């Protein structure tokens, strides 16, 4: 597993806004939707085309947030 340092974590933005969690998910790249400049960058970086989203991980994260934000149902 590769560890990524994001601008938000590097500059402490997550603590400034009192974020509870910070996650990164892989995305989707469809070169047919890119402009000339973006295509040039993608080619230079040899970025693979495809859909790399892990929907199970994303839904799990959403479930975690939902539980954290749900009101406490204890009397």
pLDDT digits (tens, 9 = 90+) for 2-40: 545 555 565 566 667 777 777 889 999 999 999 999 999
d(CA 37, CA 33): 12
End-to-end CA gap in the chain: 43
pLDDT score at 23:
82
pTM for the complete prediction?
Answer: 0.63
* Residue 74 predicted with pLDDT over 80: no
d(CA 48, CA 22): 25
Higher pLDDT, 34 or 69: 34
* Partners of 18 in the β-ladder: none
């Amino acid at each position: 597993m590769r560890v990524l340092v994001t601008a938000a974590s590097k500059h402490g933005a997550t603590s400034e806004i009192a974020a509870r969690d910070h996650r990164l998910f892989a995305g989707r790249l469809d070169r047919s939707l890119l402009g000339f400049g973006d295509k040039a960058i993608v080619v230079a970086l040899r970025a693979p085309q495809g859909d790399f989203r892990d929907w199970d991980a994303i839904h799990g994260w959403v479930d975690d947030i939902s539980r954290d934000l749900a009101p406490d149902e204890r009397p």
